[in-house]
Amino acid sequence: MMLVVCASLGLGAAAWAQPAAAPRPASNPAPALASGPDAAQPETAPVDKFAADPTAVLGFTMNNIEGEATELGEYSGKVVLMVNVASKCGLTPQYEALEAVYEKYRDRGLVVLGFPANNFKEQEPGTDSEILEYCRATYGVKFPMFSKISVLGDDQHPLYKKLSGAMAEQGGEPTWNFTKYLVDRTGHVVRRIDPRTTPDDASVIAEIEKLLAQPEPEQQEEVPA
């Protein structure tokens, strides 16, 4: 009777006997994700904490006045007084006070960093070697000096871009030679000082002593892998 029904439907015995096709496996199945503490974690880009912090200014590498690459991070843990200097300016005699303040407080953790710049009426025209010879011979400068840079304009050095931006509410960019910026022991700029205010002014000394009284930040030890 079953054959009769199949024949009447025009199928035939062979079609009736053909087994159903097995389901095809999915192509490129997604791998199972591991779970638990041993599971691989997604990769994330490292965070540049220095670049992300608008007041952190010791992440730059710069040439000192003798042409050697120097990481400003070497001065982490110190109080830093940064100054754009010039040899042919009415304020040039401030070199003497800068050196005196450096000598008085260096053992307590102060360092003065001089950055020659020719931005203001071209009052620093000399080469690095000429600048260094003049400072040492005329004012006995021993604090660290750096290669001549630009502190203003389209070619402003990134250090001074960051200093200017961080201190925008205190005047921002240098307005003349011997503009000063104070950096605390954690590497953050905290004060901009007017060019005409001398390094040994009572207000500057009070701020330096306040910053020196702060404890040095603890060095983070690397955890072995």
89 vs 86: CA distance, rounded Å: 6
pLDDT on residue 23: 54
The confidence band for 223, taking pLDDT boundaries of 50, 70 and 90, is very low
202 sits in which H/E element: helix 202-212
- On the 0-12 / 13-18 / 19+ scale of CB atoms within 10 A, 129 is exposed
Q: At what angle do helices 202-212 and 94-105 cross, to 10 degrees?
A: 30
Interval 180-196: pLDDT, tens: 999 999 999 999 999 99
pLDDT on residue 48: 67
Residue with the larger pLDDT of the pair 31 and 116: 116
The confidence band for 7, taking pLDDT boundaries of 50, 70 and 90, is very low
Interval 196-211: pLDDT, tens: 999 999 999 999 999 9
> Given 3-state DSSP classes, what are the helix, strand and coil percentages for the chain, each rounded to the nearest 5?
30, 15, 55
Interval 9-19: pLDDT, tens: 444 444 434 44
How many C-beta atoms surround the C-beta of residue 131 within 10 A?
A: 22
141 vs 151: CA distance, rounded Å: 21
Residue 128 has pLDDT above 70, yes or no: yes
The full set of domain ranges for the chain reads 51-212
Computed over every residue of the chain, the mean pLDDT equals 84
Q: Record the tokens describing residue 30, joined without a space.
A: 């997604």
pLDDT on residue 156: 97
Active site residues: 89
- On the 0-12 / 13-18 / 19+ scale of CB atoms within 10 A, 202 is exposed
pLDDT on residue 22: 52
How many C-beta atoms surround the C-beta of residue 176 within 10 A?
A: 17
Output DSSP code: residue 63: E
Q: Is 166 helix (H, G, I), strand (E, B) or coil?
A: helix
Residue 35 has pLDDT above 90, yes or no: no
Interval 19-29: pLDDT, tens: 455 555 555 55
97 vs 201: CA distance, rounded Å: 9
Nearest to 54 by CA among 156, 153, 161, 154: 161
50 vs 12: CA distance, rounded Å: 81
Q: What is the CATH number of domain 51-212?
A: 3.40.30.10
